[in-house]
Structure 1
Amino acid sequence: MISATAMTGVSAFVRAAFGANVLRHANQATMLDMEMIETLDCFIPQAIMTTFCDAVERSAGEANFGLILAPYLSVSDLGQWGEYVLAGDTLQDAIARAATSLGYHCSGDRITLSASGPEGRLRYVSAARGMPGYSHVAIGNAGSMLSLFRSYLSSDWTPQMIELDIPRPRISTPFEDTFGCPVTFDAASVSILFEAHVLDHPARRRPRVHPITLEDVARSRFAPADLDSFVNVVVAHIWAQVLAGAVSLDSTAQALDMSVRSVQRELNREGVDFRALTNAIRIQRAKELLEGTRASITEISTALGYSAPANFARTFRKATEVAPQEFRRLAWSAATPRHSGNR
C-alpha cells in the first residue's frame, strides 16, 4: 500500500502532456479517479499506481512516460510525510527521517543510506518491483530522491550516478539527458550515488511556518502495522474509493490482484463482508462532511456515490437513528466554536 499523495499532480500532468482521453483511459484501467484523492491522507494498493502508469504508456504510446514525468516529482508534494522529511536540519537528517518513517507513507518499501569514504549511496527498494508499469515508478522514485537532494543543495545539483532496477532500454541517452549524470540499469535497487560530504549540507530554505513531528505524521496515516491486515488493506482501498466518489468490489479485487470471489472469501473468513464495510465507511465520511462542511445533503449524497439524496438519508437514518439534517444540527450546536471557521 502507498499514500495517494504519491500521485499528486500526476493526473494533471497526464492531461496536459497527453490529453484528457489518455487520463480517462488510465482512470478506467484503475477503476479509480486518482485526481479526486491525490492530496488526501488515504492509501491505495501499489498495483493501482503501476496500473495507472502502464495504462498511460499504452494509451499515449509513450514508453518514456516516467522519464518525462520524473523532473516534476518532489518530496514536498507528499503531504505531511514529505513535510516531516524536509524538516530535517541537514540532508543526512532528512534522509534518516525518510528511512525511519517510510512506513507512514507506504508499506513494503525500504530506504537505506551508506557512506564509504568520499562516496555515498542512497538506495530505494520498492514493493512494486516486477509489476506491469513498474519501470515508470522506478524512474519516478529516482526523480523524487533527486528532489530531496536538491532541497538541501542547489536546484541544478546532479549526482555522480543513478542506478535503476529496470531492464536497460534500447536507447539510454534520454535518461542521462534527464538526470544530468550517467545512468545504469539492471541494478538491485534504485540508487543515487553522490559525494558523501554533501550529507552535512543544511536546507536551502525553510518554507514551513509550524513545526511538525513524527506523531503528526502518524496521526494523519494508518499505522504501518494496520496495513498488514487483509481487512484493513481492503478498508484503506474502500476509503480511497469513497473519497473518489464510487465504490465497487470489482475495483478492490483488481487493485489487490485477486478475484472477486477470493476477496469475498477472505473477508468472510474474518467475519465481515464488503457491503457492510462500505456502508460503515460511507456513514463515517457522511458524519465528517455533515459536521465539518457546509455541503448540502444533495452534494454529500452525490460525493458518496448514492443514486439519490433520499437513498442516502434513508441509509444514514438507519445507521444513526437520526436524519442527516438533525445530525448536523446536533453536531454544530455541540461544537460551534470548533467549526465556526468551516461554516
Structure 2
Amino acid sequence: MKPLVRNAALSSYVELSQSLGIDPRALMKRVGLDPVGLTVQDRWISGVAVTELLELSAAASHREDFGLLLAERRRFSNLGPISLVIREEPDARSAIELLVRHEHMYNEMLHGRLSEASGLATLKVSLELGEAMAARQAIELAVGAFHQILRSFLGNRWQPVSVCFTHSAPLDTGTHRRVFGPAVEFDREFNGIVFYASDLNAPNPMSDPQLRTYARQYFESLAVSRDTTVTDRVRELIEVLLPTGRCSIEQVACSLGVDRRTVHRHLSASGVTFSSLLNATRAQLAEQLVANPRRSLTEISGLLGFSAPSAFSRWFSERFGCSPRQWRVRRTTQQPSAEG
C-alpha cells in the first residue's frame, strides 16, 4: 500500500489557497481528496494525493513557495497526540529524536534522520512516495515544519547554519530567505537543516518536568504500531466518507492511492469484504448516534450516508430488529434501571 498522511498535513490549506485566489475544493477533488473529510485531522489520506495537490496548487497560484507558505502556518497541534509530548521534552534533541522515531504516527511517507559530526547536527528529510513524481512543495513543507519546531525550542532569533534543498532555486527566493535566513542553499545533495550540535542541548523553556511524566504515559497509551492494517485504514476512511454520501470502495481506494482490486485483495486476506466492513462500521456509529436524543433521525440518516430517512429506517430495522425510534425509546427506558 502507498503511504498515508494525517489530514492535518493539509491544515490551513483551504485558507492559504483562498488567500492566493485559487479554488482549493476543485483541486482537492481533482486528486481524489474529499474537502468535507479534511475537517477531521486524525483521519488518514493518500500521501501521493497530498503531494500532487501541493504541486497543482503551486502551479495554479503561480507561487513556487506554496509549500513553504503552508509550513509557516504550522502549529504543534498539527502533529496530533505526539505534540503533547514534544512540548514537554527537556531539550530540542529529545524532541527531534521523538519525532523521528514516531514519524509513522503522523506521516507515513516522511523520513527524517538526525546525525552529528564535527560540532554540527544535520537533520535530513526525505519522502518515500512509492513512485516517481514531483515533490518540491511537499519537501519544502516538511523542512519548513521541522524548522518551525526547532525555532519554537530555540527562539525566534535562532538561525541554522544552512537549509539545503536538492531542487533548484525559485525565481524569487524572498520567502525562503525570510523564513530560513540568508543561509538557504539549492541544488545540494540532500534536503534538510544543518545547525550547531550544541543547539540540541538547549533547555526547552516550554517544558514542565512534572507534566512530562503524564504526557509520556498518555502518549504511550495512544502510540500505534507501524503495522496498522489496511482494514483499519479502510474503516477510518468509511467513517470519514459516510457523511459525504460518497462512501464507495472506489472512493476509499482513491484515498489510499490504489485501485479497488487492491483494496478487495487486502480485505479478503483479513477475512472481510468492503460491504461487511461498511455495514459493521455503520452499525457501530448508528448505535452511538441514535442513543443521543439531541440528534434527529433525519440528521443521523445523513451522517450515515443514506439518501433518505426511509432508507435509513429500513436498514436499521433489518439490522437491529426494530425501528430507530423504537430502539431509542427502549434505550431511554432501560437506562435508569441499568444505572440503578
Shorter-chain TM-score range = 0.7 to 0.9
Gaps of 5+ in 1: 337-343
CA shift for structure 1 position 322 = 4.5
Pairs aligned (count): 331
Cα distance, 1:147–1:34 mapped onto 2, change above 3 Å: farther
Q: Distance in 1 between matches of 2:293 and 2:85?
A: 27
**Contact 2:250/2:260 (CA < 8 Å) preserved in 1?**
yes
CA shift for structure 1 position 47 = 1.8
* Corresponding residue of 2:15: 12
Q: Distance in 1 between matches of 2:199 and 2:152?
A: 12
Once the two structures are superposed, the pairs formed by residues 326-341 of structure 1 within 5 Å of their partners are 326-328=326-328
**Contact 1:168/1:185 (CA < 8 Å) preserved in 2?**
yes
* Corresponding residue of 1:46: 47
Output the amino acid matched with 1:18.
Answer: G
What SS does structure 1 have at the residue aligned with 2:194?
A: strand
Give 1:225's match in structure 2, choosing from 218, 224, 227. Answer: 227
Gaps of 5+ in 2: none
TM-score, normalising length: structure 2:
0.82
CA shift for structure 1 position 220 = 4.9
Cα distance, 1:334–1:178 mapped onto 2, change above 3 Å: farther
Q: Distance in 2 between matches of 1:84 and 1:244?
A: 34
1:302 aligns with 2:305: no
CA shift for structure 1 position 207 = 9.4
* Corresponding residue of 1:26: 27
Output the amino acid matched with 2:246.
Answer: A
Q: Distance in 2 between matches of 1:151 and 1:85?
A: 11
Please say which of residues 144-153 and 169-178 is displaced more in the overlay. 169-178
Once the two structures are superposed, the pairs formed by residues 1-343 of structure 1 within 5 Å of their partners are 1-19=4-22, 22-34=23-35, 36-128=37-129, 132=133, 134-165=135-166, 167-169=167-169, 171=171, 173-174=173-174, 175-187=176-188, 189-205=190-206, 212-214=214-216, 216-217=218-219, 220=222, 223-226=225-228, 229-242=229-242, 246-268=246-268, 270-291=270-291, 294-328=294-328
Q: Distance in 2 between matches of 1:7 and 1:209?
A: 33
**Contact 2:20/2:61 (CA < 8 Å) preserved in 1?**
no
What SS does structure 2 have at the residue aligned with 1:18?
A: coil
CA shift for structure 1 position 133 = 5.3
Q: Distance in 1 between matches of 2:209 and 2:311?
A: 44
Cα distance, 1:243–1:308 mapped onto 2, change above 3 Å: closer
Cα distance, 1:293–1:78 mapped onto 2, change above 3 Å: farther
**Contact 1:50/1:131 (CA < 8 Å) preserved in 2?**
no
CA shift for structure 1 position 309 = 1.9
- Deviation by residue 1:74-93 (Cα, 9 ceiling, x = unmatched): 33322212222222121111
**Contact 2:57/2:66 (CA < 8 Å) preserved in 1?**
yes
**How much identity, in percent, do the aligned residues show?**
22
What SS does structure 1 have at the residue aligned with 2:81?
A: helix
Please say which of residues 40-49 and 288-297 is displaced more in the overlay. 288-297
CA shift for structure 1 position 160 = 1.2
CA shift for structure 1 position 292 = 6.3
Larger Rg: 2
TM-score, normalising length: structure 1:
0.81
What SS does structure 1 have at the residue aligned with 2:295?
A: coil
What SS does structure 1 have at the residue aligned with 2:114?
A: strand
**Contact 2:92/2:153 (CA < 8 Å) preserved in 1?**
yes
What SS does structure 1 have at the residue aligned with 2:116?
A: strand
Cα distance, 1:304–1:163 mapped onto 2, change above 3 Å: farther
Q: Distance in 2 between matches of 1:77 and 1:207?
A: 21
- Deviation by residue 1:140-163 (Cα, 9 ceiling, x = unmatched): 111110111111111242211112
Q: CA RMSD in A?
A: 3.3
- Deviation by residue 1:220-268 (Cα, 9 ceiling, x = unmatched): 5753211xx4433433433443366632333233333433344435544
CA shift for structure 1 position 54 = 2.9
Q: Distance in 2 between matches of 1:205 and 1:215?
A: 18
Q: Distance in 1 between matches of 2:291 and 2:9?
A: 28
Cα distance, 1:271–1:104 mapped onto 2, change above 3 Å: same
**Contact 1:29/1:55 (CA < 8 Å) preserved in 2?**
no
Output the amino acid matched with 1:159.
Answer: P
Q: Distance in 2 between matches of 1:221 and 1:327?
A: 36
